[in-house]
């Protein structure tokens, strides 16, 4: 049973999220206006849409923050069913293809990305399953496999799009949730081994994934092909130096980095705002994660603890992957930077997830001074 509700949510989480979103709006415009003017004949094309998405995300976040998180339990079958239907629909003619992948769903004039919804639908469902199985979490069959089965269903449907990176974050987030819930260490090592083996198989059966891996190991072997984006990203980060070239003065956004407002926006941030700007952004993410962890530690029940743990893990994992790709520390994945990269589905869903954390923080005694 939840503790007495506090009047206010955690202001640090709220204002840090808003700060990240504002930085995202500024950097999306700065990185996109050149290509938007050329491709769309409107330099403000991405800015206008991103501002709309931000307002939609804000109102969604505030609305969700006022709803008792326990009410989510009643809608778990609906959340799971709708998410699975959307993921299946992507694989039908309703799915919208881009760069050889079917990850979007066209409904009327709207385009949504069901895999973004699946990230947090999985967290909600897995949180409830773990709460129901918390006394059996030491058992492989009764405690660990049930939540893994949930995330595996989403994993399989997303891999078919194909989108291995998003599918992988769902499994990794579930792993973190199980670990926090008290999973036995012998299963931790087994799951890591199984994950590495599965990744090897997924790479082996898809030639394009193997090409991405080899181009990551030496991007300059194919500077105009698979290594192109990473090389341009490194040029951008290197050009920025300590203090950057100045806001709006990136050179790599002039058609060197394709769609710089998306997956490689961190490279533009590094080029324009320098090492100092990158560190500031990382500190904001770290502070957000720290405050969320504070909430998770003090949660009144297992369900809320798992919700906050899952949401925090998803944000942290995605930030690490995006920055690792931009700095050539791992192969290109197509993973956006939360709150920063352009994309309506991602921004609205992540802000809604923060709304859940804000609501849970109302039931947690934290130092808000």
HEC string of 276-320 equals HHHHHHHHHHHHHHHHHHHHHHCCCCHHHHHHHHHHHHHHHHHHH
CB 336 within 8 A of CB 115: no
DSSP-based helix, strand, coil % in the chain, nearest 5: 70, 5, 25
Q: Within a 10 A sphere around the Cβ of 55, how many other Cβ atoms?
A: 12
CB 14 within 8 A of CB 6: no
pLDDT at 235: 92
Eight-state DSSP code of residue 73? G
Which residue ranges of the chain lie beneath pLDDT 70? 1-7, 99-100, 108-109, 366-369
CA distance 231 to 220: 7
CA distance 260 to 250: 10
Residue count of the chain, please give it. Answer: 369
Predicted TM-score of the model (pTM): 0.92
Eight-state DSSP code of residue 336? P
Exposed, middle or buried, 261 (CB in 10 Å: 0-12/13-18/19+)?
buried
Range list of H helices, 3-44: 11-40
CB 21 within 8 A of CB 52: no
Please, what sign has the CA dihedral across residues 165, 344, 296, 150? negative
In Å, how far are 118, 328, 334 from 237, measured between CA atoms? Answer: 32, 11, 18
pLDDT at 369: 46
pLDDT at 326: 92
Q: Which long-range contacts (CB under 8 A, 24 or more apart) does 196-204 make?
A: 199/168, 202/159, 202/164
Q: List, in order, residues 6 or more apart from 347 with CB less than 8 Å away.
A: 21, 24, 50, 53, 54, 57, 339
Element (H, E) at 66: none
């Amino acid at each position: 049973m939840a503790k007495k509700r506090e009047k206010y949510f955690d202001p640090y989480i709220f204002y840090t999220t808003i700060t990240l979103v504002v930085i995202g709006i500024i950097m999306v415009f700065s990185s996109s206006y050149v290509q938007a003017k050329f491709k769309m004949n409107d330099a403000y094309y991405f800015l206008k849409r991103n501002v709309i998405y931000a307002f939609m995300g804000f109102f969604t976040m505030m609305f969700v923050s006022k709803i008792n998180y326990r009410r989510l339990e009643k809608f778990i079958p609906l959340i799971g069913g709708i998410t699975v239907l959307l993921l299946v629909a992507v694989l039908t003619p309703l799915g919208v293809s881009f760069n050889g992948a079917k990850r979007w769903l066209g409904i009327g004039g709207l385009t949504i990305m069901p895999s973004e919804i699946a990230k947090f639908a999985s967290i909600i469902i897995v949180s409830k399953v773990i709460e129901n199985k918390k006394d059996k979490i030491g058992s492989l069959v009764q405690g660990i496999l049930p939540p893994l089965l949930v995330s595996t269903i989403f994993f399989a449907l997303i891999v078919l799009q194909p989108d291995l990176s998003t599918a992988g974050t769902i499994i990794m987030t579930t792993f973190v949730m199980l670990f926090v819930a008290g999973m036995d260490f012998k299963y931790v090592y087994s799951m890591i081994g199984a994950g590495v083996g599965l990744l090897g198989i997924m790479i082996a059966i898809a030639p394009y994934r193997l090409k991405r891996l080899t181009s990551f190991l030496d991007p300059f072997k194919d500077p105009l092909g698979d290594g192109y984006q990473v090389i341009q990203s490194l040029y951008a980060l290197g050009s920025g130096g300590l203090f950057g070239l100045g806001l709006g003065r990136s050179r790599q956004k002039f058609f060197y980095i394709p769609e710089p407002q998306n997956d490689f926006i961190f490279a533009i941030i590094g080029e324009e705002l320098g090492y100092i700007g990158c560190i500031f952004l990382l500190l904001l993410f770290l502070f957000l994660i720290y405050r969320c962890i504070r909430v998770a530690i003090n949660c009144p029940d297992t369900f809320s603890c798992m919700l906050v743990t899952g949401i925090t893990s998803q944000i942290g994992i995605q930030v690490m992957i995006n920055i690792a790709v931009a700095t050539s520390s791992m192969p290109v994945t197509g993973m956006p930077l939360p709150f920063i990269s352009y994309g309506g589905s991602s921004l609205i869903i992540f802000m809604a997830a923060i709304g859940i954390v804000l609501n849970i923080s109302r039931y947690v005694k934290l130092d808000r001074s």
